[in-house]
A and B are shown apart, each in its own frame.
Chain A
């Protein structure tokens, strides 16, 4: 496990770096605020309404599809590393596994889940 120690150190350094820089920047920069400067940017006119409004359901569908496919990729990783040892049996097993996924993919495609209009 000793090879994971540098990753932990790196995560620590990578956290310290932006925090330290922000602190330094805070000491150096001016802070002169007024009401207009603190408004959200809306091309110069006063902002109208709430920004956190409803957004298209498409984004949600994409997120659900992503979860399915990403889990699939993670399952393929160990299979790919040991592929040569598994041989023909492993290959056919994964064909079945991929086949089930591809049927679902074709269904989603046919249903229009991938259309973005």
Chain B
């Protein structure tokens, strides 16, 4: 292997992997702060605001606390498996990120072309499904090794729930593969560009099956049965403390991010702008130039409304002015400095914007929905989602066959 191939195939991916693994915990720490803040405002309270300005240093404090917290291993537990379980949960959660593309166009660093994804394999979806199933091992090992009743029950519930919802999850993404004719993430997004429409339109049923199953897979509200604190204390991680607890936590949030990324790629066009084929809307590529003034204007309006007691109308007005100014900025293209010269930036913006919307939905659900009962959960998975997702596969197949026949004749 020449030096050039070594750099291209080993060194650049390694640098990307290290960047992902080091940035991700920080991102998750702040995602947790966002979750607490949003939940707080939804419940008309202030949420953390003691550590740092409006609680901005709270995640750092939490991380330090978890790191120096005493690690209790119950004496009746299986010590080896007890330590293995959090590691076995976090490895597949992280490894799933290997095939997630964050943007479309490559960019250049020191003369080497860097792609905005770690790798692009042609069996990416199969790999994701396989590796996310491995996460169940960590959960059931942790629950069993703890030798606590709550842990064991939580682990059993958790694994039964995760394997039940993995079936509709798998069926729901088959429709997308049939339309795109590929299981590679990059190819699926490019197929959406070619089709000129996000796959959420032809695959609306598939998307709903996928999203419901994904929430259940990640054990989040309203499917957070394994951690139903009123009955099971904390589910499978009842006995865990310190860094080992932090790993279960990290794995849960990584899984949330991964399923949001998959939903974005499969159903919402990944890094494509809305209406990717309409030429006259090219300025939407500079989405961040619109969002920034919109947010700033809205925030200024909100502050003004708070100070003067005028309520929310100034916020809406400020957001509107910001959006208009942003649209003009985006259309004038800022002398080419905006994303047209940097397609990687515009792609990454749209990708992370869509992923954030999904993560916000997760938090929104947590603030809105009550928890399911266990028999309702199982009935929803087996009696509704599985028949619905199988029907979706059949109808998609029928539509493609009929369309092919019509085109073949005409």
Q: Which of B74, B175, B182, B378 contacts A40 (CB 8 A)?
A: B74
Q: Please encode chain A, from 69 to 90, with 1 for each CB lying within 8 Å of some chain B CB and 0 for all others.
A: 1100110110011111001100
In the complex, B195 has a CB within 8 A of chain A:
no
User: Are A73 and B125 interface neighbours, CB within 8 A?
Assistant: no
19 further contact pairs, Cβ within 8 A, besides A40-B74, A83-B400: A7-B95, A7-B99, A18-B86, A25-B67, A29-B68, A29-B70, A42-B148, A51-B149, A59-B160, A63-B163, A70-B170, A77-B177, A80-B183, A80-B393, A81-B181, A87-B404, A94-B397, A102-B390, A115-B375
Contact A39 B163, beta carbon cutoff 8 Å: no
Report the separation of the CA atoms of residues A52 and B119 in the bound assembly, to the nearest whole angstrom.
43
Which positions 379-398 of chain B face chain A at CB distance < 8 Å? 379, 382-383, 386, 390, 393-394, 397-398
Evaluate contact between B72 and A33: CB separation under 8 angstroms.
Answer: yes
Q: Which of B70-129 contact A (CB under 8 A)?
A: 70-77, 83, 86-87, 90-91, 94-95, 97-99, 118-121, 125-127, 129
Give the CA-CA distance A19 to B243 in the complex, in Å. 11
B247 contacts A7, CB within 8 Å? no
Residues of chain B contacted by A53 (CB below 8 angstroms): 149, 152
Q: Please, which residue of chain A has its CB at the minimum distance from the CB of B175? A: A80
Does B43 interact with chain A (Cβ within 8 Å)? no
Contacts of A25 in B (CB 8 A): 67-68, 71, 242-243
**Once the chains bind, are A76 and B71 in contact (CB under 8 Å)?**
no
Q: A2-B9, A18-B87 are in contact. Are A55 and B21 (CB under 8 A)?
A: no
Segment at the A interface, from B12-20, B44-52, B289-297, B362-370: B12-20
Residues of B within 8 A of A21 (CB): 67, 243, 247
A14 touching B148 by the CB < 8 A rule?
Answer: no
Nearest residue, chain A, Cβ from B71? A29
> Chain A contacts of B374 at CB under 8 A?
116
Instruction: Give the residues in chain A near B99, CB-CB below 8 Å.
Output: 7
Cα-based distance from A11 to B134 in the complex (angstroms): 13
A26 touches B71 (CB 8 A): yes
Smallest Cβ distance from B83 to chain A, in angstroms?
7
> A88-B401, A116-B375, A116-B378 given as contacts; is B148 within 8 A of A3 (CB)?
no
Find chain A residues with CB under 8 A from B247 CB.
Answer: 18, 21
- Residues in A with CB closer than 8 Å to B69 are 29
Q: Could you tell me if A15 and B401 are in contact, using CB atoms closer than 8 angstroms?
A: no
Residues of chain B within 8 A (CB-CB) of A43 are 233
Q: Is the CB of B118 within 8 A of A6?
A: yes
Closest 10 CB pairs of A and B: A73-B170, A6-B13, A40-B148, A116-B375, A80-B177, A14-B94, A25-B243, A6-B119, A66-B163, A38-B75
Cα A69 to Cα B164 in complex, Å, equals: 9
A37 close to B72 (CB less than 8 A): yes
Give A81 to B123 CA distance when docked, in angstroms.
10
- 15 A-B contact pairs sorted by A residue (CB < 8 Å): A2-B9, A6-B16, A6-B17, A13-B14, A15-B91, A25-B242, A40-B76, A40-B147, A41-B150, A41-B233, A41-B238, A51-B146, A77-B126, A114-B383, A115-B375
Q: Of B13, B87, B118, B144, which is within 8 A of A52 by CB?
A: B144
Q: Contact at A31–B70, with CB atoms within 8 Å? A: yes
Complex Cα distance, B379 from A77, in Å, reads: 25
In the bound assembly, the distance between CA atoms of A7 and B239 in angstroms comes to 32
- Contact call A5/B9, Cβ cutoff below 8 A: yes
The reply to whether B400 and A84 contact each other, CB–CB distance below 8 Å, is: yes
Shortest beta-carbon distance from B255 to chain A in Å: 13
Q: Quick check: A28 and B68 within 8 Å, CB to CB?
A: yes
Chain B contacts with A in 52-72, Cβ cutoff 8 A: 67-72
**Given A2-B9, A9-B17, A40-B147: A76 and B163 interface contact (C-beta under 8 Å):** no
Across-interface contacts of A18 in B (CB, < 8 A): 86-87, 90-91, 247
Given contacts A14-B21, A41-B233, A76-B174, contact A81 B90 (CB under 8 A): no
B166 CB-CB contact with A under 8 Å: yes
Which positions 19-35 of chain A face chain B at CB distance < 8 Å? 19, 21-22, 24-26, 28-33
